Amino acid sequence: MSEKEIWKDIEGYEGAFQVSSFGRVRSLPRIDALGHHRKGILRKQGNVHDGYLQVALEHNGNKAVYLVHRLVAAAFIPNPNGYATVNHKDENPSNNRAENLEWCTMLYNNMYNGRNKRVAKALERPINVITSSGHHYFFSSQKKASEILGLNDGHVSACLHGKLKHHHGFSFEFAV
């Protein structure tokens, strides 16, 4: 038995764009401002970061970029509590099917499926801190190095992941 794809108008873009229960977005057939007939097409979705998908919509002067999972949730998932956050149940941010989404609190989303434990474990990995003079200092974790040296943990992480070269004169590498 195959599941049927359901299409619904996107709020604010009624009659121009629709979102589907499968996480796809399409424009509807229309006559443009110059009187030309335009076919409806599937809209391209771009990767924002970490697999989250976005789509650009424009109609009657309304022009904006939207996260696809939020469009799907708004159209298909009841939100009686007025939650502001959408969770991907399978933790795959590219899977925007309606059955994979749920409205929730930010706290629930952050705690979902052991995310905090995974982040904490990543922060426990031993690292080397290298001074500008080339001396290496071993720390049992990124968190410990940040605390002892009085550094911003986010900047240390950015250095470890190649997004920054230095932070307060130090460079960083994961210990082997």
CATH of the domain at 139: 1.10.10.10
13 and 78 assigned to the same domain: yes
85 and 24 assigned to the same domain: yes
The residues near 45 (Cβ < 8 Å, ≥ 6 apart) are: 25, 53, 54, 55, 68
Over residues 130-149, the mean pLDDT reads: 93
72 and 152 assigned to the same domain: no
pLDDT tens profile 70-104? 999 999 999 999 999 999 999 899 999 999 999 99
Over residues 137-153, the mean pLDDT reads: 92
Does any domain span residue 140?
yes
Q: Which domain holds residue 147?
A: 124-174
pLDDT tens profile 111-135? 877 766 666 776 688 999 999 999 9
With vertex at residue 70, the alpha carbon angle to CA 66 and CA 72, rounded to the nearest 5 degrees, is: 110
20 and 99 assigned to the same domain: yes
109 and 129 assigned to the same domain: no
34 and 70 assigned to the same domain: yes
Rounded-to-integer distance, Cα 128 and Cα 147, Å? 14
Does any domain span residue 154?
yes
Q: How many CB atoms lie within 10 A of CB 66?
A: 19
Does any domain span residue 12?
yes
27 and 92 assigned to the same domain: yes
pLDDT of residue 3: 85
**In the predicted structure, residue 2 carries a pLDDT above the cut 70:** no
With residue 47 as reference, give the H or E element that holds it: strand 46-47
Rounded-to-integer distance, Cα 63 and Cα 60, Å? 8
Over residues 23-44, the mean pLDDT reads: 92
pTM: 0.65
145 and 74 assigned to the same domain: no
131 and 75 assigned to the same domain: no
With vertex at residue 46, the alpha carbon angle to CA 43 and CA 50, rounded to the nearest 5 degrees, is: 145
Does any domain span residue 1?
no
Does any domain span residue 2?
no
Does any domain span residue 118?
no
73 and 21 assigned to the same domain: yes
Does any domain span residue 35?
yes
Domains of the chain: total: 2
Does any domain span residue 11?
yes
Q: In the structure encoding, which two tokens stand for residue 103, read together?
A: 């409205």
